[in-house]
Structure 1
């Protein structure tokens, strides 16, 4: 971790952000008091491999659709619910 003044951050912002992108953390001071932390985003990724998603989904809890439907009916009521045989786009 490096300590840098607000003025130095303004003057060297490109170099500081390059360091942050490389993994460095900065504490920014104003009048000698630390006021901010500039650090890399820890879990920011643009691409997640399919294998990783499959591994995570494999360990995810199972969904009990019957319990979920009962909970939704209890909360919203089931009188206006569209059934499996109903066409939601049919005009009545």
Structure 2
């Protein structure tokens, strides 16, 4: 794993547009002040909105089997089965 480049606090302030453009394109930086590392500037992970069909099929093949009886038992344990009577005193 390659070390991420270091930028000084001053560079972050004066070259913020260029640095933020690099972060947006996936680059990470270590921020320093007076020669000491004080933080990391890393891009946010973006969640995919679409999973290709082949990838979904591959994940499904390795997924564990679901027992309908066990699933129902879990639901019954988590949900109150008797509705409240609004007229009970």
> Normalization by structure 1: what TM-score?
0.62
- Residue-by-residue CA offset, 1:25-66 (whole Å, 9 max, x unaligned): 210123332221122345654543222122112222222121
Aligned twin of 2:63: 60
1:5 equivalenced with 2:8 (yes/no): yes
Give the 3 Å change call, closer, same or farther, for CA 74–23 of structure 1 in structure 2.
closer
**Hey, which bits of structure 1, 4+ residues long, moved more than 6 A?**
none
Q: What is the match of residue 18 of structure 1?
A: 21
* Range with greater deviation from structure 2 (42-51 or 65-74): 42-51
Q: What is the CA RMSD across the aligned residues, in angstroms?
A: 2.5
Q: Specify every segment of 5 or more residues in structure 2 that has no aligned partner in the other structure, as ranges.
A: 84-89
Q: Deviation digits for residues 43-90 of structure 1, max 9, x if unmatched?
A: 65454322212211222222212112112223434334xxxxxxxxxx
TM-score normalized by the length of structure 2: 0.64
Distance 1:46 1:70, change over 3 A: closer
State which drifts further: 71-80 or 58-67: 71-80
Q: How many residues align?
A: 80
